[in-house]
Structure 1
Amino acid sequence: MNLFAQGVAWIFAPENNTGSNAILVRLGEHLGITFVTVLIAIVIAVPLGLVIGHTGKGRSLAVGISGGIRALPTLGVLTLLALWIGLGLEAPIISLVILAIPSILAGTYSGVEAIDRVTIDAARAQGMTAWQVLGRVEIPLALPLIVGGIRAAVLQVIATATLAAYINSGGLGGYAFSGLANSDYVEVLGGSLLVIALAIVSEIVFAALQRLAVPAGVSAGTSGDARRSTRRSGSRAQTPVEGTTP
């Protein structure tokens, strides 16, 4: 039996699905850390991104700060916070929030900035206030890119939340650290496969959510434009060239 098959067998072994170290327990901890982290990051980054995209101010500063944050090593930040705050969930959650904010922030302000300014001007011409333009026009049209930013953040957090086990804060990373400590590479692989499977499932779910986030009118308009373009191209192809002999 190769190592991969042994890792899969480890996942379904009865002894790994009972007790406080059961896979479902660790999976619940991992999902809990991910949910809390991404929720906090959304509360911080989405309003800030909407303000930047709506007003057009502060984009350069946001890009610079986001780039600097992306360069921070999460393990190093986690270690420093653990030494400062102490063991527990606070240090990994703060570290992961720092990791998740740039993707959500970039997706939010990029989504608002990508909206055709003619659409914004038309909304204002109809008497909409700035808040109405933001709530009724900009947010719905920017929603697919906002969800895309959240999608990227969730994948990053799921992968990096394994580091929470570095300071005994739970999650699927516990299998990797305990396996390395005991030279049990089957356990390391089994835990890694669980994280990979969780990331794939989240990717599928958020890909579907991102597609659903596209406003129906935008989808219909895009399809209609494509059909009209096809018909025009076909008509031009069928029109005889002037001056040619039939």
Structure 2
Amino acid sequence: MKDLFDKLKDAGRDARGTFVVLDEDGNEVEAPAGAPGARPAAPRPAAPSAAPASAPTAGSAPGVPAAVAAATVDPEFVQGLQAACQGSKKAAYTQFQTLYSALGAIGDPAQRAQLALSAAQASHGVTPQQVAEAIDDRLAILAAERQAFDKAVQAETDHSIGATQKRIDAAKAEIAKKADEIRQLEATRVELERGIAEARAAIDGNSARFAASYAVVEAELAAERARIAPFITSNAK
């Protein structure tokens, strides 16, 4: 299962664009992209080429989610899971499987299975119930592998995505805060402009009234000045 976890971590590392630097002992350690002295992590050796088999369709495996049915089977995962199942201590299934493979000339699967079960019981004393129990044991091992993998997926998700998601959430919160500040500033601007308009209107009104009043007084004085003008004698020498 370690190989499967390593492959999962590789995928998360690729998603993060992980770089590595050398520590004091010359070992590679992860470093953020762009860090001084960082260089791309050395690529892992490519898996042996194998023609990827298509995943079973939903019709052939009832209850299989559409995303799983549409996925491509990974030969490395298959080999790892099969190897884990082979760790079962119940050998009845292996004995049955050996006999079933030996009866490959029989075309009918049901007849072939029946003959293999009969042969297993005759040669090894293995009952069909024991074969079923051995298969159930392997299914339990398989389920445990799934749980371990799901746990590793969650851990890698938290490591690869969690920190970035927190930064995104913080950025959203900051944007919301700035947006509120902008709204408040906009309201302040509108209020100040309204105050400017009112003050300008008051000043313009006072200026207009002063000009009108000034004209009245000036006209009165001008009229008085004109009235006495004929009676003014020049003192010029």
Q: Which has the larger share of helix?
A: 1
TM-score normalised to structure 1 length: 0.32
Q: Which has the larger share of strand?
A: 2
Greater RCO (CA < 8 Å, at least 6 residues apart)? 1
Compare CA radii of gyration and give the structure with the larger one: 2
